[in-house]
């Protein structure tokens, strides 16, 4: 403390300070909807009265007490979507895997580790009007987690038996009761981006897929920009590369328009 005062410091966490500065200096720019899109909702809090449930970040699937399976997701896009939905007046619940970024302001954030933890948190947070599955949930987990750190044995690598993690997007989209009116999935692909996204849309039975290329050199994982394609039953809409906050603002604008016309 300064100016001759003494006592415990009261500084906010550094990541919280950075998030507040970024929010103050860079209000997201909402790009106009294409001419063939539904009209944007009326000005004001377009998602007022709605509950928006968002998943974000990676999941960590334990191998033993010190090792885990994961991926390179930073959570930046999912967190930006949660923040944009809150700005649009929604009550937002964010279920976040392990990330190194601050929680969005005005959002109820639930922190989880594994895919099963995330599924449990999502199911507890339902019902919701809009569900956005932006998290990169690990597809597999180890069948049996070691109680102790695995040791090297004569140079031979341990055999890890893998089993599939629960499919959170499919479970929510295909729920027999209480399904959100709008369910959005993400498809991070390294090849055949649009073909894989179309297949995911049909298989998961969701309303919209946000697809992007995360192959080597794209810089999407961990970066501040994104280049996405919106895939729906009516076709594909490709957006130019833009800041993830702008992607979030534009996506929320689209979802508000869908909600307004009773998607």
In a domain, residue 140? The reply is yes
In a domain, residue 154? The reply is no
Residue 17 token pair:
């300070």
Predicted local confidence at residue 36, as pLDDT: 44
In a domain, residue 234? The reply is yes
Over range 3-15, report the average pLDDT: 59
> 42: which residues sit within 8 A by CB, 6+ positions away?
none
Q: pLDDT > 70: what percent of the chain?
A: 80
| Distances from the Cα of 135 to the Cα of 43, 177, 205, 230, angstroms | 29, 23, 17, 17
In a domain, residue 206? The reply is yes
Residue 9 token pair:
């410091």
**Does 39 have pLDDT greater than 70?**
no
**Does 246 have pLDDT greater than 50?**
yes
pTM: 0.82
Q: Which domain holds residue 52?
A: 45-147+159-260
Predicted local confidence at residue 19, as pLDDT: 55
In a domain, residue 39? The reply is no
In a domain, residue 13? The reply is no
206 is catalytic: no
User: In the predicted model, what is the mean pLDDT of the chain?
Assistant: 87
Of 2, 3, 161, 163, the catalytic one is 3
Q: What phi, psi does 126 have (nearest 5°)? A: -65, 155
In a domain, residue 14? The reply is no
CATH number, residue 165: 3.40.50.10300
Domain count, the chain: 1
How far is the C-alpha of 158 from the C-alpha of 233, rounded, in Å? Answer: 45
In a domain, residue 213? The reply is yes
Predicted local confidence at residue 10, as pLDDT: 57
């Amino acid at each position: 403390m300064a100016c001759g005062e003494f006592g415990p410091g009261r500084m906010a966490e550094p990541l919280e300070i950075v998030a507040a500065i970024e929010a103050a200096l860079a209000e997201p720019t909402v790009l106009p909807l294409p001419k063939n899109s539904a009209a944007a909702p009326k000005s004001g809090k377009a998602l007022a009265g709605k509950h928006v449930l968002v998943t974000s970040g990676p999941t960590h699937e334990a191998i033993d007490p010190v090792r885990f399976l994961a991926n390179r997701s930073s959570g930046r896009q999912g967190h930006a979507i949660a923040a944009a939905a809150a700005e649009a007046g929604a009550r937002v619940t964010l279920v976040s895997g392990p990330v190194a970024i601050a929680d969005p302001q005005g959002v109820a954030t639930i922190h989880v580790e594994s895919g099963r933890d995330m599924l449990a948190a999502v199911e507890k947070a339902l019902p919701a009007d809009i569900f956005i599955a932006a998290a990169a949930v690990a597809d597999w987990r180890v069948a049996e987690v070691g109680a102790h750190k695995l040791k090297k044995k004569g140079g031979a690598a341990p055999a890890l038996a893998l089993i599939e993690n629960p499919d959170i997007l499919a479970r929510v989209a295909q729920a027999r009761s209480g399904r959100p009116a709008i369910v959005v999935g993400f498809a991070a692909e390294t090849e055949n981006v649009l073909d894989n996204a179309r297949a995911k849309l049909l298989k998961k039975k969701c309303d919209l897929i946000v697809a992007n290329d995360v192959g080597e050199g794209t810089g999407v994982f961990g970066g501040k920009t994104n280049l996405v394609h919106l895939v729906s039953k009516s076709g594909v809409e490709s957006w130019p590369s833009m800041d993830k906050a702008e992607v979030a603002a534009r996506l929320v604008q689209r979802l508000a328009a869908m909600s307004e016309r009773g998607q």
